[in-house]
Amino acid sequence: MSRYNDWLIRNREKLVIATSGSLIVAAWLLRPLGNTFHFWAMTLAAIIAGYTVAKEAIGRLSTRQFSISLLVTIAAIGAIVIGEAWEAAAVTWLYIFGGFLEGLTLARTRSALRGLVDLMPRTAKIKRGEELVTVSAYEVKAGHVVVVLPGESIPVDGKVVAGRASVDTSSLTGEPLPAEVAVDDTVLSGTICQGGYLEVVAERVGTDTTFSQLVYLVAEAQEQKPKVQRTLDAFAQWYTPAVIMAAALVYLGSRNMHLALTFLVIGCPGALVVAAPVAVVAGLGNSAKHGILIKGGERLERIAKADVVAFDKTGTLTLGQPQVASVTGFELEEERVLSLAAAAELRSEHHLATAILSAAEKRQIEPAPADDWTIEAGLGVVAHGPDGEILVGNRRLLLSRGTDLTPEQAALMVEHEEAGETVAIIALNGQAIGLIGITDPIKPDAFGLVKALKRTGIKTTVMLTGDNPRAAQLVADQLGIDEVRAGLLPEQKVEVIRELQKTGHVVAMVGDGINDAPALAIADVSIAMGSSGTRVAMEASDIALIGDRIGQVPGAIGISRRILGVVRQNVVFAVATVLLLLAGVVLQVIHLGSGMAIHEASVLLVTLNGMRLMK
């Protein structure tokens, strides 16, 4: 019995539509039996369909919301009172059937979120000694070693400590080709081990994982409304009572109740109400499937207006995997220079620090003893060891400490920079002792990026970097970036963005979400590379590129503009439909049943237009 009740609850809407529709058809087919049967069959059909409509209208009216369902309810009651039961049945049945179709369409547009939820890992295998124990994914703690077998979803964010596998990352990045991962590689929750075996040390678990954050943020984004939709919602609040008053005036002027009721129903802005939600949900869901997380409809207008895109260089346009290309000692051996540099960089999380420490490890050079580390933002690092103060950074760091390179040393640094290397200067006790040249390959998908941005309507591209001008210009020339501002401190990047904004530009800043936090915060639109600082980037940015694919920036801006374009198309079509229908009512060429059919058709067309964004 309970199973039958559950079935009735799940299918209630379909049963109401079917029962009411069957009564309408029966009333027409059996009309020869007499007008009395016809009238009461249509009345019963109107009551069955209209109960849900009236309940919705009363519920919204209790919270002071003047809804379309209120107009339909008034029109249906009025039609029955004047003996036009057919009109009452038609208007209520068409309203609930249109709502059913709209619901089906919205369910399809939310398929991206539903698909993500289905992909969420439910269980995990953790190692306890030599034993494998299966637990809920939410029971895994940071530090647990998780075993992932072929075909299983990775339940945590963490680092591979054993094994090798092909991992399908399409659920997060939209990338169709699997990635090969091995020891020391980072893997993210929600990705799938296609072949191989992995042991992963959990770093982020439960609701803190990248995948859980993505699901939450996609759901939140789909609920946020763009400015145009908020305007339409406010418009509906005064429009509905205005239509009721206008219908009353039509009746007073014509004494034609049928005309007044027709005016009341045809004035419903149904297509206008769904003009924005379907397009926004479809567009944001589709972009999320491809690793582009646009953080809500309310940010779409800003994104679509951007005409300047500013980029950080390291980790954004480049791979963020710098490698030491050369070590030069002025007075000390190369090994000693690298040892002192590694000592200073031990507490730094900068990309260049990683390269220096990796080079020292590969050459089996132990970092020199050091303590009292200080990170100088945009300059470098300072540490103290038994031999004195160690500086590792750019030339401005040396100048800030009252020292500089000799002309010969400066000329050597220029040679390295012209070769495309970023140069770190190493100084000991106020005297430069060597240079370390570091290279960072450009991301493959950065080539062609500028041309793609220009096709979306972006007028100017700018690189903002703390790197030296020569290395920065070399990258800019290869990518076709219009303007380079190099050697910038974090606060100077902010000044450049403010300068662009003062000249009337809408600036989108693309960065890694950590070192570029001030610039991302001040920009009109912030686009963060998701994996570089996943939590910071995903929570603070307007757009997060989950897979760190810089080539997706044009797509993110393009889909934002497409969403707004479709919303505007829908609004124009909806307004035009209402105006034409009202003109037809006044001219008495549109009647209640036909007008409601056209009205519902307009709602369906607006919905289908929004669904185009699912492609």
Spatial contact of 394 and 383, defined as CB atoms under 8 Å apart: no
- The residue length of the chain stands at 615
CA dihedral 491, 496, 498, 500 (to 10 degrees): -170
Alpha carbons 295 and 536: distance in angstroms, whole number = 13
Q: How far is residue 289's CA from residue 174's CA, in Å, rounded to a whole number?
A: 6
In sequence order, what E strands does 173-273 have? 179-181, 186-187, 192-204
Contact at 8 Å (CB) between 537 and 529?
yes
Let me know if 3 is exposed, middle or buried by CB neighbors in 10 A (0-12, 13-18, 19+): exposed
* String of DSSP letters for 536-560: HHHHH-SEEETT--GGGHHHHHHHH
Positions of E strands within 422-475? 422-428, 431-439, 460-464
**CA atoms of 320 and 28, how far apart (whole Å):** 72
Catalytic residue among 312, 440, 516, 542: 312
Round to whole Å and give the CA distance between 65 and 80: 25
Confirm whether 371 is a catalytic residue.
no
Residue written as token pair 């001008």: 469
| CA distance readout (Å), 69 to 50, 102, 246 | 9, 15, 17
In order of 350, 379, 436, 471, 524, the CA distances from 421 in angstroms are 16, 17, 9, 6, 32
Retrieve residue 443's tokens.
């991301």
Q: 3-class SS at 438? A: strand
What residues have CB less than 8 Å from 63, skipping those under 6 apart?
none
Query: From residue 186, how far is each of 151, 201, 203, 415 by CA, in Å?
Result: 18, 10, 10, 36
Q: Are 172 and 152 in contact (CB under 8 A)?
A: no
The residues annotated as belonging to the active site are 312
